[in-house]
Amino acid sequence: MSVAIRGLSVSVPPTVLMQEEVASVFAAQPGLTRLGQRLVSTAFGVSGIERRHTVLEELDWHGPDPAEPPVFADRSSGELLLPGTRERNEIYAVQAARLYVQAARAALEATPGIEAADVTHVITVSCTGFYAPGPDFGVARDLGLPAGVQRYHLGFMGCYAAMPALRLAKQCCEADPDAVVLVVSVELCTLHLRTSNDPDTIVATSLFADGAGAAVVTARAPEDGERHLELDRFATRITPEGEADMAWRIGDHGFEMTLSNAVPTIIGEHVVGALEPLFAQEQPLRDALESGTSARAVEHWAVHPGGRSILDRVQSALALTEEQLGPARAVLRDYGNMSSATVLFVLRHLLDSAAAEGERVVAMAFGPGLTVESALLTVRG
């Protein structure tokens, strides 16, 4: 029995942040030291990002002034404000709820032969806000899912969380061949942006963005010619170092990201070993990993674009070509790092490309721990 990702959809809020403009705004903030200004210029300049999206209309300095008092930014002066965690989370509860339903509905509409009444499980994912009843409840209510739909929420796991969500979805389908699992990830990272002289905060500010991804996972047979991704297997590894180098804490003024400059090096040193359990069941893949030829054994690589330096390290460690890393770099360029939703954008990009029937895909995502989550998939249709 094969379990597949079908109806894979992605969504972003309408407000666009151009990276050069955002860098200028952050560099001009009161209280930023000369060193802080240089760090902003460097971090934004080498990020590999051209544009990002945000739910915060106040950060669109070209738009009309809002009628209500500003919460995040004073557009007349350009000064960034410092709202508390409660204010940020209240915005999350409103904006995330809308994106969850939007992305979930799009995934169902893109899956031939599957309707809302067929959904047996809902798995929602996020690390950028909290509320209850949660997004799993909102999706079930607003889409009119069956009253007995089983619901799960994976919260505060970080950038790799979509991978265990897909793994859980596969396990549900293996336990019940008629299961239809709706997986939805929504991350509103820009709610936690702030001005600072701290290098980790500056790097996070240069990278993170808002977005949503959703997929229908099921063992039900797809329609003839329908493009989908078979989920072959998953693997997870915790690196022996790096626990303190990537962290996500709740502060008085939003969630505070620690993202040290050691993260790309740690990932680069351990990414090959992290693939060992994923490749263990197929001799050709094991041999390719041992000989350093994995890039030739697997055609496509959906690598979570946590940042340009992370992609550079993964590319070097696995000897990937520019073409193989192209989808990840394109998503980083056009959308930034949307935490857990980002790998779904890369997979969507691959399905929209010339990937051929039967070609293999390795998906990878990285997060606190340091944790490396990976999946092996096959393109169909």
Classified as helix, coil or strand, 249 is strand
Q: Is 126 helix (H, G, I), strand (E, B) or coil?
A: strand
> How many whole angstroms separate alpha carbon 186 and alpha carbon 256?
18
Contact 134, 124 (CB under 8 A): yes
Query: Which helix (DSSP H) or strand (DSSP E) does residue 136 occupy?
Result: helix 135-142
Q: Which of 164, 185, 228 is nearest to 8 (CA)?
A: 228
* Residue 224: Cβ-neighbour burial (10 angstroms; 0-12, 13-18, 19+): exposed
Smallest CA-to-CA distance from 160 within 255, 248, 49, 272 is with 248
Query: How many DSSP H helices and E strands does the chain contain?
Result: 13, 15
Strand pairing category for 254-259 and 371-380: unpaired
CA 268 – CA 37 distance, rounded (Å) = 29
Active site residue 173: no
Comparing CA positions, the residue from 357, 350, 346 lying closest to residue 380 is: 357
Contacts of 257-261 spanning 24+ positions with Cβ under 8 A: 257/192, 257/200, 257/201, 257/204, 257/208, 258/200, 259/200, 259/203, 259/204, 259/207, 260/200, 261/199, 261/203
Catalytic residue among 127, 159, 172, 173: 159
Q: How far apart are the first and last CA of the chain?
A: 17
Which of 271, 1, 288, 42 minimizes the C-alpha distance to 160? 271
Tell me the C-alpha to C-alpha distance, in Å, between residue 52 and each of 115, 121, 155, 209. Answer: 32, 31, 23, 6
Q: Which residues contact 8 (CB under 8 A, 6 or more apart)?
A: 107, 110, 213, 214, 215, 229, 344, 347, 348, 351
Place of tokens 């739909």: 149
Catalytic residues: 159
